[in-house]
Structure 1
Amino acid sequence: MSSTTSTTLAPPEGAASAPDTAPRRLAALIARARQAAILAVLILLLSAAELDDHRFLSSQGIKDLLLDAAILMLAAVGQAAVVITRNVDLSVGSVLGISAFAAGDLLAGGADPAWAVAAAILLGAGFGLVNGLLVGFGQVPALVVTLGMLYVVRGIDSIWVGPREITSQRLPPGYTDFGHGGLGPVPYLALIAVAATIAVGYYLAHYRSGREFYAIGSNAHAARLAGIGVRKRIVAAYVLAGSLAGLAGALYVARFAYVDATTGTGYELTVVSAVVVGGVAMTGGVGTVYGAALGALLLTSINSVLPALNVSSVWEEAIDGFLLLLAIAADRIVAGRVNTALRKRSARHG
């Protein structure tokens, strides 16, 4: 699912972090192993559900599963780009919510669907730009900036939306039909999510500016010494995350045909969980957007499989939390192994 180039950055010429290559390869190998484990768990989950109910993996069952995963995948891919730079975006849920209402409001007013989607993406990109400028150029901790942005956007959303809601009766039938349509069992929304994942993954793996995201997450100081524009790359990561959150908001309208002031509330924690479970280290520099997309699919599958197996919904959040803690513990182990390898390498080189 992932390529070596997307998890291990070959240091630029003259970079001070050249000795870090071997330890980072170790971290990349462990990250790939985690992605393989996610895929194995996903297969086991779906197989168990299918054995219990042979309709679970029917054409419609697969379609419903992918529809539920598509929006989370989009948000997780953007979040992964930010986390790779050793930052985080906690405003993704509120940005998704306000972008969804903006798109829905335009559609209800008779706007062209393409313009409504573009407006949602631009709105999300705008909030991402503010986050990126404050974190990258303002040097304010990402946790503080994005947590504050979460409440700012949520406040704007509440004032703007108020008690209003947008329902399917006010939306163009063609738009909601698109949200449920697809090619066989594969919905259009899932195709969009997969296309975005591949595009971002290819950029991070094959373009120098994309690989610089990994250099910043691995060692921001060494990246500066290598001539990388750290602040600009951080801004770019947040703009990308905001844009994909905006797109996810527009597709949310197509999927659920309903938006109000509470849309997206609490979504940021699910997105972060998907990214971390998918093997993107919170310490930065390791992981792929493919892993984040797999993590999103796994969490969505858990929430679909448990009810199918007649397991109480109370366990859904508990299992999600357990997976998050397990992933964080794995990250700490990886970080410890990398640091040990670095110390041994430094000792050998005097």
Structure 2
Amino acid sequence: MKLTKTLFERTEFTVLTFIFLIGLFLSLATNTFLTFNNLMNILLDISGIAIASIGITMVIITGGIDVSTGAILGVTAFFVGKLVETGANPVITVFVAIVVGALLGSINGALVSYGNIPPIITTLGTMNIYRAATFTLLQGKWINLLQAPQTITPIGLGRVSGIPVPFLIALVLITIASYFLYKRATGRYIYAIGGGLEAARLAGININSVRVFIYGLTGVVVAMSSVIYVARTKIVQANTGSGFELDVIAATVLGGTSILGGKGSVVGSLLGALLVGMIKNGLTLMSRHISGFMEGMVVGTLIIVMVLIDIYRKKRTVN
């Protein structure tokens, strides 16, 4: 009985309930939602968001935020595109993307930690800087890879038994991240920082080092998402990654990561990404009957509902 009560109180269960209800509605409203190809397309579409949400989940757990992820994706996509143009080894391409992403993310972490600048201000600033950097690097041109060597195409469009490779990569990374958060000391430090900075400091946790690490890690996973993005679209332009940060934050919050800090899971963020993907896919399938503007309304409403549920549960815990 106690186990059942605990299950129902978990945010992941709430997200699963939303997924079931929306899936049921779309199954009845359309003839194509439940087809294998459509479901696999949803998994493919959410892969990059799910991978990037690993880092954002950790950032929000500590009580921070990062709105520069879309801009980081744009910068790393430029380097990926240039390397693909030259026919570089895909291992080198991925490695360079990770290094660039780690550097950009670590800059965010250093500014937050050692500059004592609030995360939202820091990442708003770097978002504009990184976006300007992408525009400058591209010099107003596009990188078109349709005729370039398809060195990284299997990473973005490959399938194993019909399942998209990017989604399998996301599952592996989320499994590793879950182990890290729950079983490793640094993972426990992340939750402790979100629970209270002063208490974490008194416990001897090096808060600055942990923050730089998680923002750097966010840059790494966003860079991996950029490899998948370029492999799929074969185009890099000045606005590449625009709006990506909103999808990642939405997936993370919908997945149950508390905006108040101290609570969340990467598995929940994966479920949140799936929920966002289902909504987008369903509205596309029903585009003849529903305006495209409904996407923002539905996702926004669900975010508000999840935040209210989180606040309610926290009040119940306190009382």
SS at match of 1:237: helix
Q: For the aligned residues, what is the CA RMSD?
A: 2.0
Alignment partners' CA distance in 2, 1:43 and 1:168: 39
2:236 counterpart SS class = coil
Map of 1:37-186 to 2, 5 A cutoff? 37-186=14-163
Tell me how far 1:112 sits from its aligned partner.
Answer: 1.1
List structure 1 segments (4+ residues) > 4 angstroms apart after TM superposition.
Answer: 29-32
Q: Give the Cα–Cα distance (whole angstroms) in 2 for the partners of residues 212 and 289 of structure 1.
A: 16
Q: TM-score, normalised by structure 1?
A: 0.85
- Letter paired with 2:104: F
- The amino acid that maps onto 2:112 is V
Partners in 1 of 2:155 and 2:93 — Cα distance?
14
1:95-141 per-residue CA deviation (whole Å, 9 max, x = no partner) reads 01111121011111221111111111111110111111111122211
Q: Counterpart of 1:55 in 2: which secondary structure? A: coil
Q: Shift of residue 47 of structure 1?
A: 3.0
d(CA) in 2 for partners of 1:287 and 1:221? 20
Alignment of 1:190-209 (within 5 A): 190-209=167-186
Matched residue, 2:248: 271
**For residue 323 of structure 1, what is the aligned residue in structure 2?**
302
2:192 is matched with 215
Q: Secondary structure at the match of 2:235?
A: coil
SS in 2 for 1:169: coil
Per mean C-alpha deviation after superposition, the further-off stretch among 174-183 and 264-273 is 174-183
Instruction: Indicate if the aligned counterparts of 1:30 and 1:334 stay in contact, CA closer than 8 A.
Output: no
Distance of 2:280 and 2:312 partners within structure 1? 28
In structure 1, runs of 5+ residues without a counterpart are 5-25, 342-350
How far apart in 2 are the matches of 1:67 and 1:32?
Answer: 30
Cα separation, partners in 2 of 1:85 and 1:120, compared to 1, 3 Å = same
Q: Percent identity?
A: 33
Contact 1:62–1:186, Cα closer than 8 Å, also in 2 = no
2:296 is equivalent to residue 296 of structure 1: no
**Contact 2:141/2:237, CA 8 A, preserved across alignment:** yes
Return the letter of the residue paired with 1:336.
Answer: K
Structure 1 residues 235 and 32: CA distance shift in structure 2, 3 A: farther
Measured against aligned partners, the alpha-carbon deviations of 1:140-162 in whole angstroms (never above 9, x if no partner) come to 11111111010010011111113
CA contact (8 A) 1:179 1:188 kept: yes
Q: Kindly indicate whether the alpha-carbon contact (under 8 Å) linking 1:277 and 1:295 is maintained by their aligned counterparts in 2.
A: yes
Residue of structure 1 equivalent to 2:231: 254
Q: What is the TM-score normalised by the length of structure 2?
A: 0.93
What residue number does 1:238 align with? 215
Q: 2 CA distance for matches of 1:201 and 1:72? A: 17
